[in-house]
Amino acid sequence: MTTLFTILFDGVAYGMLLFVLACGLAVTLGLMNFVNLAHGAFAMAGGYICAVLVNNSGWPFFAALPLAFVTAAAIGVALERTLYRHLYTRSHLDQVLFTIGLTFMSVAAVDYIMGSSRIFIKLPGALEGQFDLFGVGIGRYRLMIIVICGLLTVALQLVLAKTRFGSRLRAAVDDPRAASGLGINVPQVFAFTFAFGCGLAGLGGALSAEILGLDPYFPLKFMIYFLIVVTVGGSSSITGPFLASLLLGIGDVAGKYYVPKMGPFVIYTIMIVILIWRPNGLFGRAAAR
């Protein structure tokens, strides 16, 4: 019985991690209708920045995490202003070709600068190991992931639903022409949203180094997972991807534990079943543009 809870706990942590990594993609894909396959590159950037700061410059881990967010977001803004902006109105195929090219460039660049071997981030001792809670093994690092990601999710939901910025964003997405007619600076809203999504990816990248491993092929390896989260969750809100991440995380961990021979396929099976049942994802809008 306690094992069941440990599995559940690990699955939730894994799912939360997937969510932080992928929710930026859900925002750009769903809200801005832009296919950004280079999303993982921002996650990798965050991861490497955190690793360099902690390992080489001796920063404490918790100070490096916000910086991973900020730097990834800054890179996001720079690229959005210079490159992405021109592709908003282009066809999805153009967007895919452009962003996949960007992904390959990021892989080659990081390989050149940082080397191709896997790197680790030195963690503070307080985050290592497991403790027992009523017999259930709780990993400290995974607990931290759940706490950070949980808070982020709540904050995101509040910002989108309750603040002026959130309503501007939703307006800009629903009808950009009418929104700009009402005096909303649509490009600015998009740029900010894009940057925030990239920042989240950067933070996710930094958090995931310990669990998923960080090497220059990160953006390619995990692109599938990000896309699964967004397809299963539907891209119209962030609740969808959130639930999808949890479902996939728990499904993946439990599947690998209980049926190790089938382990890697469980996540795909879940995806197929859900998409047959709801082709637009769990919370998809039927009439997507």
Partner 1 sequence: MSIRSQLLLAAGSVAAMLALAPAHAQETVKIGLILPMTGGQASTGKQIDNAVKLYMQQNGDTVAGKKIEVILKDDAAVPDNTKRLAQELIVNDKVNFIAGFGVTPAALAAAPLATQGKIPEIVMAAGTSIITERSPYIVRTSFTLAQSSTIIGDWAAKNGIKKVATLTSDYAPGNDALNFFKQNFTAGGGEIVEEVKVPLQNPDFAPFLQRMKDAKPDAVFVFVPAGQGGNFMKQYAERGLDKAGIKVIGPGDVMDDDLLNGMGDAALGTVTAHLYSAAHPSAANKEFVAAYKKAFGQRPGFMAVGGYDGIRLIYEALKKTGGKTDGDALVAAMKGMKWESPRGPISIDPETRDIVQNIYIRKVEKVDGELYNVEFATFEAVKDSGKTKK
* Positions that interact with partner 1 (CB under 8 A): 3, 6-7, 10, 14, 108, 111, 115-120, 122, 128-130, 137, 139-141, 210-213, 215, 217, 221-222, 225, 252-257, 260-261, 263-264
Closer to partner 1 by Cβ: residue 176 or 205: 205
C-alpha 12: how far from its chain's center? Answer: 15
Structure token pair of residue 24: 């930026």
Residue 67 Cβ, how far from partner 1 at the closest point, in Å? 22
Name 196's Cβ contacts closer than 8 Å, sequence gap at least 6.
24, 27, 73
Q: Which residue has the tokens 């009439």?
A: 287
- The Cα 153–Cα 87 span in angstroms is 29
- Least Å distance, CB 23 to partner 1, is 18
Dihedral sign of CA atoms 171, 172, 175, 177 in order: positive
CB atoms within 10 A of CB 218: 26
Residue 165 or residue 258: which is nearer to partner 1 going by CB?
258
Residue with Cβ nearer partner 1 (94 or 128): 128
As a whole number of angstroms, the distance between CA 283 and CA 210 comes to 31
Least distance from partner 1 to the Cβ atom of residue 122, Å: 8
Nearest approach in angstroms of CB 53 to partner 1 is 16
66 vs 137, beta carbon nearer partner 1: 137
Rg, Å, the chain Cα set: 19
Nearest-approach distance from CB 242 to partner 1, in angstroms: 19
Closer to partner 1 by Cβ: residue 125 or 183: 125
The phi and psi torsions of 131 (rounded to 5 degrees) equal -130, 165
Nearest distance from residue 261's CB to partner 1, in Å?
8
Maximum distance among all alpha carbons in the chain?
60
| Residue closer to partner 1 (CB basis): 75 or 223 | 223
Please, what's the b/e burial string for 255-271 (b: 16 or more CB within 10 A of its CB; e: otherwise)? bbeeeeeeeeebbeebb
